[in-house]
Amino acid sequence: MSAPAAAAAVPYLPLTRPTLDEETIAGVVEVLRSGWITSGPNVKALEGKLSEYFGGRPVRVFNSGTCTMEIALRIAGVGAGHEVITTPLSWVATSNVILEVGARPVFVDIDPVTRNLDLDLIEGAITPATRAIIPVDLAGLPVDRDRLHAIAKKHGLRIVEDAAQSMGSTWNGKRIGATGDFVSVSFHPNKNITTIEGGCLVMTTEAEAKLAEQYRLQGVVRSGLDGMEVEVVGGKFNLTDVAARVGLGQLPRLEEFNGKRRELARAYFEAFAAHGAAALGLGLPVADLVQSNWHMFQVVLPPAVKRAEVMAALHAAGIGSGVHYPAIHLFALYRRLGWKEGDFPKAEAVCRSILTLPLFPAMTRADVTRVVEVLTGILLGHGKS
């Protein structure tokens, strides 16, 4: 008699994973064989499709969702001596770009419910040096665009929306990016659609788009067959055609991907309710199943629970998790610039205990149930051993 087959191991559930179809992979191979692999016809085609998606606004693509914000600030003339208001709860890119152009970030605390910057605090942070606001739609949950734009208009400020995480989210029925001032999106592999690395900037005027092209590539402006001029210090931020071809395969699937993410988010809420998450002291995200693209599903652990222990226990059970993000103002670089513990207590409390759970289109409801069972089990046992 042969030994009974071992129970099939449950495969490791990663925090996230991009969905790339065979048609896109074949398209990439075609670009690789075409003889033109850097910025070219695929970049132009992706910019055309994105512009269509964003209601006809000018769009340019770049090799990251970080440089897009830096370039927007440069186009807006933000630099030395200026201040830019933003949130301490974001990927550090959001405020690094402010330093990069020579300006000073001015953080305001978050609303612990939405985890986005607290719009009530913005007007109190405005000084004569303020030039712009960079709001972040954390996890895809949109900041109130009506209030944001009303504040900016009243004080004559520019807005650079860090919509890195909110591709496909909406505000009052309008797509993020289809309205507003500068809108920056990231196509990093963890984001809702990807170009491997990459991003796009949505602008308002063709003049801004022309300037964006200059900042994208060494400030170069070509004319005629042999003319070249340089007037601004540009960088090296162009997207390759290989990457753009990935994006052309991803964009038509955005609504499908986000629909799947919403369905999984709903499953998380149902499973957490069934497992008594509230009684365990677990903080759930705003249950916005309409406007958010559910880029991430993030919980806030009870303050007494050690996050690293929970992450280790999840990992041991075959489940990935992540931290998005540590508070920006408490990084060494920012402490050296004068910020300290206690400056933004609401953000600090959330940043200490926030935990991102697996959520990506190829996941199943059964995966969600398993994550919730394992996590609530860990919290029930926490401190008992």
Ligand X SMILES: *Cc1c(COP(=O)(O)O)cnc(C)c1O
* Contacting residue, 91, 182, 215, 344, with ligand X by CB under 6 A: 91
Q: Is 247 in the site for ligand X (CB under 6 A)?
A: no
Q: Which is nearer to ligand X, 185 or 313 (CB)?
A: 185
Alpha helices in the chain (DSSP H): 22-33, 41-53, 67-75, 93-100, 122-125, 145-155, 206-216, 241-250, 254-274, 307-316, 332-336, 345-353, 365-381
241 binds ligand X (CB under 6 A): no
Residues in region 193-212 near ligand X by CB under 6 A: 199
Residue of closest CB approach to ligand X: 65
Q: Can you count the helices (H) and strands (E) in the chain?
A: 13, 13
Query: Which of these is catalytic: 191, 306, 340, 346?
Result: 191
How many residues form the binding site for ligand X (CB under 6 A)?
14
Residue ranges in 287-326 that form contacts with ligand X under rule CB under 6 A? none
The beta strands (E) that lie in 163-320 are given as 170-171, 174-175, 182-186, 199-202, 220-223, 227-230, 297-300
Residue 90 binds ligand X, judged by CB under 6 A: yes
Using CB under 6 A, pick the residue from 42, 114, 130, 165 that binds ligand X: 165
Greatest C-alpha distance within the chain: 84
Q: Which stretch binds ligand X (CB under 6 A): 13-21, 88-96, 215-223, 306-314?
A: 88-96
User: Closest Cα partner for 257 from 155, 362, 184, 165?
Assistant: 362
Q: Does 18 bind ligand X (CB under 6 A)?
A: no
Q: 3-class DSSP state for residue 89?
A: coil
Which residue lies nearer to ligand X by CB, 278 or 333? 333
Whichever of 136 and 280 has its CB closer to ligand X, that residue is 136
Whether residue 191 lies in the annotated active site: yes
In the complex with ligand X, which residue's Cβ is closer, 202 or 374?
A: 202
Give the whole-angstrom CA distance, residue 182 versus residue 208.
10
| Interface with ligand X, residue 140, by CB under 6 A | no
Asked if residue 76 lies in contact with residue 209, where contact means CB atoms within 8 angstroms, the answer is no
Q: Return the H-helix or E-strand segment holding 53.
A: helix 41-53
Per the CB < 8 A criterion, the answer to whether 302 and 282 are in contact is yes
Residue among 16, 24, 42, 66 that touches ligand X (CB under 6 A):
66
- Positions touching ligand X (CB under 6 A) are 64-66, 90-91, 93-94, 136, 162, 164-165, 186, 188, 199
Q: Which residues are catalytic?
A: 191
